[in-house]
Chain A
Amino acid sequence: MLLRFVIKRILLLVPILFGVITVTFLLMYIVPGDPVLTMVGERYDQQTLEEIRHDLGLDKPLIIQYIDYIGRVARFDFGRSFITRRPVAETIRERFPRTLLLAFSAMCLAVVFGIGIGAIAAWGRMPWLGRSLMTFSLIGVSIPVFWLGLLLIYLFAIQLSILPPSGYGGGSLRYLILPALTLSFASMATIARVTRAGFLDVACEQFVRTARAKGLSERAVLGKHMFRNALIPVITIVGTDFGSYLSGSVLTESIFGWPGLGRFIVQAILKRDFPVIQGSVLFMAILFVFVNLVVDVSYGLIDPRVRLQGGRE
């Protein structure tokens, strides 16, 4: 049953991956003007232009170019930068671990604090605390991440001068704190809301009443019966958010000068380096698709009902 569910999900990926590849391929064709002109700049003669066009295969019919493109993608060849002439895949390999580090730290913060805040808010012994925590999480979902980042820089780097305002610092913890906190904020807030709702939902369920009625300790009721069921929806959030973090936390990385994938693509856009834009968008989208697959499958593992219905929609 589970195996069939997994295979079905993987088969569903095939048309999606083709679609993603097609979209990124076509992106290059809606570029106004000639990409080759952008590449060579002001100084060019007709001959060089034709040569470059031939080298890039841009003189072939569209359909042949498309097939070539799919072939290259299958070999993880994402093209070369117009400007540095460096293969895009190489830069991605270099930058991805940094994005991963940031994404992972942010997710850990979000999960720990989000579940904590949500559980306290659902507890209901201190209504004022619950209410203020929920107001805090409402602001958390509404605050623009780039503005939050700037406020944190202003407070901790400019006013208090206890943390560096930006940079990577070889991956040291001091440099990681502010960007990770900024990135985690919205997920933390959503996780808090979902956790609270989950606990409140589960608290009314029959099986919780049964557990209490048969005399289980409050700890056992919470730990064994409520926790697991209340947290199922949290997994979806963790999965989708982690997926989008991995695909380059574009805004956060730009503000903090974090040399990951997100900043890479922003720099490419500013320089109009189209192969880099195309290659990195494709890489990120493929990554996003696979992370979502993992989320779907793990969802099926935890909640057998999902397997029967064929997946979350």
Chain B
Amino acid sequence: MSIRGRFVEGFLGRGAARVGLVLFAAVVLCTLLADVISSRDPVDIDLERALMPPSWDHPFGTDPFGRDVLSRAFHGARLSLGVGFLARTISLMLGLLLGVVAGYFGGRFDSIIMRLADITFAFPTLLLLIAIMAVVSPGLVSLFVTLGVVGWAAMARLVRAQVLSIKEREYVQAARSSGAGHPAIIIRHILPGCISPVLVVYTMGLGMTVMAEASLSFLGLGVQPPDASWGRMISSGIAFMRTAPWLTVFPGLLLTITVCSFNLIGDCLRDALDPRSAPGRRAAQRWR
């Protein structure tokens, strides 16, 4: 069987992977069909319909301004997923670039980049995010740039380690002795070897990034009103916990499902790509 075939089977053969994919597909579908499923505008204020409990008309109820919670939550999914993927991609690019430079060229580059990574790791991640978001001007762009930049270090360390091990392999030596230049060696021989671990870390980080965005928005440091983000919706529902718990319950449920799907997919990807790693061998940073 081809390597690809074995990977697909190893991945899809896991029940957890299938559950993760279905959950993720459901969330993506909600995102894409947000306007079709709910015809109501997420920012449409209708005070006559304020704080209505869940019903056929409003499956998730309405908020104090009479806005439809379902519609807001589905639009919030767009934002959360968008920010998550964008931020992870920024981390990926930075991590790849710096990791390859550190691992391939070594020497001074290596020690500077790795010391910077050490310093990034010296901060509890959520704290660093909070500190940066507190001093930059709030907004979507600063949100995903901050999330992306803070995530570079883990990616760079991983890529560097991978590059170091690939660099000494025979086929790379062979390419070098047959006169291939650095760019050719990096692109043709080194980067392909980094794909699978990078993919795993990218996916695993997605759940954490979505959670981080929600946490920042919950604290009022992320998405600004009137945009609907899950974290923001949950925090604005606190005042109504007693009378209208649906304001906090539904966005939180969607958030949990999303993070859960990323975790499932990430775990199974890792197990399928690297059978040696036992589940749970990583010490992940989480958000609290």
Residues in A lying within 8 Å of B, measured CB to CB: 12, 15-17, 19-20, 23-24, 27-28, 30-32, 138-139, 141-147, 150-151, 153-154, 158, 183, 186, 190, 193-194, 196-198, 200-201, 233, 236-237, 240-241, 243-245, 247-252, 254-255, 265-266, 269-270, 272, 274, 277, 281, 284-285, 288-289, 292, 313
Contacts and interface: CB of A to CB of B under 8 A. Distances in A.
Interface of A is mostly: helix
A32 B248 CA distance: 33
Contacts of B159: none
B29 interface: no
Nearest to B135: A31
Interface string B221-256: 100000000010011001001100100110010011
A153 B286 CA distance: 22
A186 B245 contact: no
Nearest to A26: B135
Interface residues of B, number: 53
Given A151-B252, A154-B241, A158-B242, A144 B119 contact: no
Contacts of B122: 16-17, 19-20, 285, 288-289, 292
Given A19-B119, A144-B256, A153 B278 contact: no
Given A30-B136, A147-B252, A274-B135, A251 B288 contact: yes
A198 B283 CA distance: 13
Contacts of B134: 269, 272, 277
Given A27-B132, A32-B137, A153 B241 contact: yes
Contacts of A146: 215, 218, 231, 234-235
Contacts of B218: 144, 146, 251
B135 A23 contact: no
A146 B221 CA distance: 15
A147 B132 contact: no
Nearest to A187: B286
Given A15-B118, A19-B119, A285-B124, A142 B281 contact: no
Given A16-B122, A281-B131, A289-B122, A240 B285 contact: yes
B105 interface: no
Contact of B288 (A17, A153, A196, A244): A244
Given A144-B287, A147-B252, 15 more contacts: A27-B135, A144-B211, A144-B256, A147-B248, A151-B249, A154-B245, A190-B283, A197-B281, A237-B283, A250-B130, A251-B218, A272-B134, A281-B131, A285-B122, A288-B127
B259 interface: yes
A285 B256 contact: no
B275 interface: no
A186 B221 CA distance: 23
Nearest to B258: A142
B50 to A, nearest CB: 20
A157 B119 CA distance: 41
B135 A30 contact: yes
A239 to B, nearest CB: 8
B126 interface: yes
B288 A186 contact: yes
Report which residue of B135, B207, B241, B279 has the largest number of chain A beta carbons within 10 angstroms of its beta carbon. Answer: B135
B191 interface: no
B263 interface: yes
